[in-house]
Amino acid sequence: MAVESFDLIVIGGGSGGLAAALRAARHGARVALLEPKELGGTCVNAGCVPKKAMWFAAQMAEAQYIAVDYGFAEKPGKLDWPRFIERRNEYIDHIHGSYQQSLDKSHVTVIRAEGRFIEPHRIAAGDRELTAPHVVIATGSSPNRLDKPGFDLGVTSDGFFALREGPRRTAIVGSGYIATELAGVLRALGSEVDMFVRGRLMSGFDEEMSYQLGDEMTKHGIAIHYTCQIEAVHEKDGVLLLDCDKGSHPGPYDLLIWAVGRHANTASLSIGNIGLVTDEKGHIEVDEYLNTSVPGVYAVGDVTQHLALTPVAVSAGRKLADRLFAGARHAPLDYTNAPSVVFSHPPLGTVGLSEEQARARYGDEVHLYKQSFVPMQLALAQRPMMVRFKLICVGDESRIVGMQMLGPGIDEILQGFAVAIRMGATKDDFDATLAIHPTSAEEMVTMGDRVPG
C-alpha cells in the first residue's frame, strides 16, 4: 500500500477540525481531513444549529400568545413539525454544501473514513495510509450512557433531533446546557415537561442566577424535581414509567431524554498505539498551546479538557494552524473571558467570573451591582417575566470581572459587553456610556448603587 504524504492530517470534521484544516490550507499546507460522517460535527448536525432552530420555533410559539395579549385576534396555533423539520434540514444541508465548497476551493483532501493511529505520524483511514509531521485530533464528543435498567427506552439529545412530532409528556434527566435548553423548547411547543436534576441547574454558572433561572422555568410550567434520582425505566402500554430512588414512580411519559453529560470520542483512534495521555474523564490532555503528550500531535475542541463551546474550538484550530504554518506566535486562549449563553427559556448568559469564583480569587475586594426589571415588550403584554443583570466588580476602580444576565434578549445583548469586559472595563466606563432608550440593554449602563454584602 502506497503511503500518502501531507503536511497536516486533521482527524474530525467538526468546528475545530474544519477551522484548523482550512486555515492551514490557506497558509499553503497540504491537508487531509478525515471525517466519516456529515461535515460540521455535533454543532451543525446534533447541537448548536438544530437546537437554535428549535429554540426559534419555540420563540415563535410564545410570540403568538404575546400577540394575542397585544390585541391581535388570531388564536395561537401548533407547530407543523414535519414542515419545520424539512426547513431545518434544508438549512443544515446548505451548511454542509458551504463547508464542502470551502474545502474544495482550499484543495483540502477530504477522506470519508475514521482515522486510526498506527504510529504518531502514521494514520490508517479505511484502506488508505497517510503520514504527516503534524496531526490534529478533533473528534469531538458523544452523549453519555448510564448503566441503568431501561436506559434504551429513552433517548439522548441525538434522539431529540430525530423527533418528527411533539411529545405530549416529557421527562428529562440532567441539569446542564442540553437538559435546560430542551426543557424550555419542548414546554414552549406544548409538551408537559418534568426535569430530574441532581444538585442545581447549570452548576458551572453563577449560583444565584442558576436558581433564578430555575424559578423562571417553574413559572413557565416546567416541573423541576431536585430530590428524585432516576434508577430505572419501564415501558407499559406504550408509555414510560420511572423509578425514583425515593420510592416514587413518576410518569407516564411519552418521551424520556437523558442529558447526563458527554464523553470524548477517542475509542476509534487507537491512541494506545502512541501512548497519548488522557485525563480522568477521558479527555485528551493538551497544554496551553494545544500540544498533547506526543510531539507533533495536537488536539482541539470537545475532545480536550477545555470549554466545550464552538467558538473556542474554532479559535483554537485557527491559532494552532497559524502557529504551525505561518510562524505566528500562539497566544493562549483566554478561557476566563469566554462568553456563553444557555438558550433556555429565558436565556442565561455569562462572561468572566461568577460571584463564587470572584470571591474565591479576590475575597473582600468583590462587590456587586444588580438590576431586575420586566422588559417593555412583556410589560405591555402583562407577562411579568423578569430580566436580571448582575455585575461582579473588584477593587477601588470597580473593574468588572464578571457579568451575569438572565432574561429575554440577553443572548444578543451579551456579545458587545463581552468585548468591554475583555478590555478591562470598569463600572465608571459603563456609567459614562450613554444609554439607548427604551431598551433592556440600557439597564446595564444605568445601574445604581452597590448591593450591600
Give the neighbor-by-neighbor strand order of the sheet with 255-258. 223-225, 192-196, 169-173, 255-258
User: Does residue 434 carry a pLDDT above 70?
Assistant: yes
Residue 385 DSSP one-character state: -
For all residues of the chain together, what is the average pLDDT? 95
User: Does residue 336 carry a pLDDT above 90?
Assistant: no
Map out the domains of the chain with their CATH numbers: 3-142+263-326 (3.50.50.60), 151-260 (3.50.50.60), 346-445 (3.30.390.30)
Active site residues: 437
Contact criterion met (CB below 8 Å) for 187 and 207: no
pLDDT at residue number 1: 66
Query: 470519508: which residue's cell?
Result: 112
| Nearest-angstrom CA–CA distance, 394 and 402 | 10
* Residue 368 neighbours by CB under 8 Å, 6+ apart: 355, 390, 391, 392, 393, 450, 451, 453
| Nearest-angstrom CA–CA distance, 400 and 390 | 10
Task: Using pLDDT thresholds of 50, 70 and 90, give the confidence band for residue 281.
Answer: confident
For 359-392, how does the pLDDT look when each residue is reduced to its tens digit (9 = 90+)? Answer: 999 999 999 999 999 999 999 999 888 999 999 9
Task: Using pLDDT thresholds of 50, 70 and 90, give the confidence band for residue 419.
Answer: very high
Helix axes 310-326, 15-26, angle to 10 degrees: 30
| Nearest-angstrom CA–CA distance, 207 and 356 | 8
Task: Using pLDDT thresholds of 50, 70 and 90, give the confidence band for residue 333.
Answer: confident
Stretch (H or E) spanning 192: strand 192-196
Q: How far is CA 394 from CA 355, 399, 400, 419, 423, in A?
A: 11, 5, 7, 18, 15
pLDDT at residue number 328: 85
Task: Using pLDDT thresholds of 50, 70 and 90, give the confidence band for residue 74.
Answer: confident
Percent of the chain past pLDDT 90, that is, above it, reads 91
For 257-277, how does the pLDDT look when each residue is reduced to its tens digit (9 = 90+)? Answer: 999 999 999 999 999 999 998
For 232-248, how does the pLDDT look when each residue is reduced to its tens digit (9 = 90+)? Answer: 999 999 999 999 998 88
Left if phi > 0, otherwise alpha if psi is -120 to 50, otherwise beta: which for 302?
Answer: alpha
Task: Using pLDDT thresholds of 50, 70 and 90, give the confidence band for residue 85.
Answer: very high
User: Which has more pLDDT, 282 or 23?
Assistant: 23
User: Does residue 330 carry a pLDDT above 80?
Assistant: no
Q: Which of 334, 357, 350, 370 is nearest to 415 (CA)?
A: 350
Task: Using pLDDT thresholds of 50, 70 and 90, give the confidence band for residue 453.
Answer: low
